[in-house]
Structure 1
Amino acid sequence: MHVNTNGKKVLVALSGGVDSSACVYLLQKAGYSVEAVVLNLFPAAAPTVAAAQQTADLLGIKLHVVTEHETFLHNVILPFCEEYRTGKTPNPCVMCNPSTKFHFILKAADELGFDYIATGHYASVEHMVKDGEEHYLLKKADFLPRDQSYMLYRLGQDVLSRLLLPLQHLAKDAVRAVAAEAKLPCATKPDSQEICFIPDNNYPAYIENLLGKAPEGDFIAPEGKPCGRHKGILHYTVGQRKGLGIALGRPVFIKSIDAETNRIYLADSGDEYASGVLLHSCVVHPHPVLADTTHLGVKIRSVAKEAPATVTLLPDGGARVMFDTPQRAPAPGQSVVWYHEDYVVGGGFIAEQIQL
């Protein structure tokens, strides 16, 4: 976190959950002048706004409400739905953070005259000088089981240069203890596991309700022949084994999804590993270790273990990532984030697998 500067004004993104609420309390204790903002991004967000208001009242701070339903619909919800309809597996938080969430937090901070913004994410930011220029690098949290740097990898210098992350050194139990010390009811509130705008986590039903029912199509067996009907490609993801309704007498999984032909290709167990991936729309951070080709650690999904790989930047803004050891079922639409030690070096969206 940036050096503590008493009296500086911080605008905290507050949801009323334990992480963001503890963030407010820690900044108050550190001597900052704190107010909060809650993002009302979709019609079902009313409980979040109410929870944020409860925390703000208990901690004696002013809460600002930013309502941006239309922007969230076009920046996050519709792209998320369209990605699934084309056989990809998007991560809505990765999409939302740079385009919407942090954009509107920073906009509110500028309009209201705040020096910093803060969130309850588990990650950290470090100041660096390279070639005489100041840069801010995103780093993993100290408590790795809660690290959220993967979700934040697309944030730019405009955000990182003003971002405070007070939970960077804390384990979850310690954060709950902070909330309990502040006498906040959220101290025992369970963590949310769902996509925020799909509270029951039934994303296929949500997408079909919004965009219409997905057409059925063929499953293609490993031998190349149709072996059953699927209920619409948005119901499936690369690497999936369960819920296929296919009886081939042996375990199979989804190898690839072809949206143009509306076919889902299956493969036998053991063939789910890829040698590498091609990425598009990459973000590259100003880390001194990064060259055109660099050996780094990479994560192919938010909950994956970091794996060693060679990252080669491509002229079209993409990258080729070749794993030292083949990785299981990297899914188009997911992000691959690159790390050097604890630092986020960059990342991009998976376009396709590479098989050798």
Structure 2
Amino acid sequence: AAALGISHTVLDLRELFQTAVMDRFVSEYAQGRTPNPCLDCNRAIKFGAMLDWALEQGADALATGHYANVSFDSASGRWRLLRGRDRRKDQSYFLYQLTQHQLAHLMLPVGQYEKPALRTLAAEAGLANAHRADSQDICFIPEGDYVAFLRHHGGAELVPGDFVDQTGRVLGRHKGLPCYTAGQRKGLGVSADAPLYVLRKDSAANTVTLGPDSALYTRELTADRPNWISIPALESPISVTAKTRHSQREAAAVAEPLPDGRIQVVFQEPQRAVTPGQAVVFYDGESVVGGGTIVK
């Protein structure tokens, strides 16, 4: 802002950030799920409170540095969320919860650029962040020690329990459910004839089920809290491509509405380490159809 000679205002959204993002992060882990706090931050903070404030001040739009694109589809009368040009940096996965109102007031100016080109532009403009390293950490856990955060911020107790195999046989003791996530192999402290991976966590029984890599694959999942972008609602099964992690490549699937408002997703090919608490996001070519939170 100083380089451009424009005013800069800092909004104090710490209280909302704590309740909507940090507290929910703790709550989800306490229930045995693995949340994605960036999704909650985008929904409640960046494109929630911050956009609301900007519009109240008379702004026309909110601009952010997400690698994605927005366009209006005159045929359907709906705003569309599209992938960013730089597929390696594409962040459309993190924006699937945006509403039509939010998309109508959103500008994503970096979406048409590759990251190296943006660094060149920033350097030419004399911006201080032109060569700043990318960050992959959760912003409120800069060192990546989320277990320590859960203990100190949320007062979460690490209650030891049993590692069990798929038949329920006890294999050893775990340090507490928050220490593990689906697909994890390292740091288990359990010896076996073949490599073992975390398959699932049971918060009611306080157990962590371990098994072979082959047991991590599934063709089906159920998601709730759906949000739709390219369509008003999911009224019948649709063919899409979908992914259950940001870093994952999409796979062909069918999304079907359930009577209770949730979504049933069936993939053509088994998917590895589908994790409750993460998001499943649906695509139709370059366009984000919608998505939801994986519950099982």
Aligned pairs, number: 295
Is the Cα–Cα contact under 8 Å of residues 75 and 96 in structure 1 kept in the other structure? Answer: yes
**Amino acid of the structure 2 residue aligned with 1:117:** L
Task: Give the C-alpha shift of residue 291 in structure 1.
Answer: 5.2
In structure 2, the residue corresponding to 1:58 is in which secondary structure? coil
**Higher normalized helix content (fraction of residues):** 1
Q: 1:112 to 1:204 in 2, by over 3 A?
A: same
CA distance in 1, matches of 2:232, 2:86: 25
Q: 1:217 to 1:289 in 2, by over 3 A?
A: closer
Is the Cα–Cα contact under 8 Å of residues 234 and 257 in structure 2 kept in the other structure? Answer: no
**Amino acid of the structure 2 residue aligned with 1:174:** A
4+ residue segments displaced more than 3 Å: 286-291
Q: 1:66 to 1:282 in 2, by over 3 A?
A: same
Matched, 1:95 2:95: no
- Aligned match of 2:275: 331
**Amino acid of the structure 1 residue aligned with 2:270:** P
Matched, 1:283 2:235: no
Q: 1:107 to 1:289 in 2, by over 3 A?
A: closer
Which of residues 117, 135, 147 is equivalent to 2:90?
147
Which of residues 16, 20, 27 is equivalent to 1:71?
16
Alignment of 1:1-356 (within 5 A): 56-130=1-75, 134-210=77-153, 211-287=155-231, 292-352=236-296
- C-alpha distance after superposition, 1:209-232 (max 9, x if no partner): 122322111100244211111111
Task: Give the C-alpha shift of residue 270 in structure 1.
Answer: 1.4
In structure 1, the residue corresponding to 2:2 is in which secondary structure? helix
What TM-score do you get using the length of structure 1 for normalisation?
A: 0.80
CA distance in 2, matches of 1:285, 1:317: 16
- Aligned match of 1:42: none
CA distance in 2, matches of 1:127, 1:146: 23
CA distance in 2, matches of 1:130, 1:317: 27
Overall identity of the aligned pairs, in %: 40
- C-alpha distance after superposition, 1:135-182 (max 9, x if no partner): 211011111111000000001111100101111111110110111011
Task: Give the C-alpha shift of residue 239 in structure 1.
Answer: 1.3
Is the Cα–Cα contact under 8 Å of residues 130 and 288 in structure 1 kept in the other structure? Answer: no
**Amino acid of the structure 2 residue aligned with 1:168:** G
CA distance in 1, matches of 2:245, 2:39: 11
- Over aligned residues, Cα RMSD in angstroms? 1.5
**Amino acid of the structure 1 residue aligned with 2:280:** V
CA distance in 2, matches of 1:288, 1:308: 21
Is the Cα–Cα contact under 8 Å of residues 182 and 199 in structure 2 kept in the other structure? Answer: yes
CA distance in 1, matches of 2:75, 2:224: 26
CA distance in 2, matches of 1:130, 1:207: 47
Is the Cα–Cα contact under 8 Å of residues 222 and 268 in structure 1 kept in the other structure? Answer: no
Is the Cα–Cα contact under 8 Å of residues 122 and 141 in structure 1 kept in the other structure? Answer: yes
CA distance in 1, matches of 2:65, 2:38: 14
In structure 1, the residue corresponding to 2:241 is in which secondary structure? strand
In structure 2, the residue corresponding to 1:64 is in which secondary structure? coil
Q: 1:289 to 1:350 in 2, by over 3 A?
A: closer
- C-alpha distance after superposition, 1:36-64 (max 9, x if no partner): xxxxxxxxxxxxxxxxxxxx212211111
- C-alpha distance after superposition, 1:194-222 (max 9, x if no partner): 10111111001100112232211110024
In structure 2, the residue corresponding to 1:143 is in which secondary structure? coil
The gaps in structure 2 that reach 5 residues or longer are none
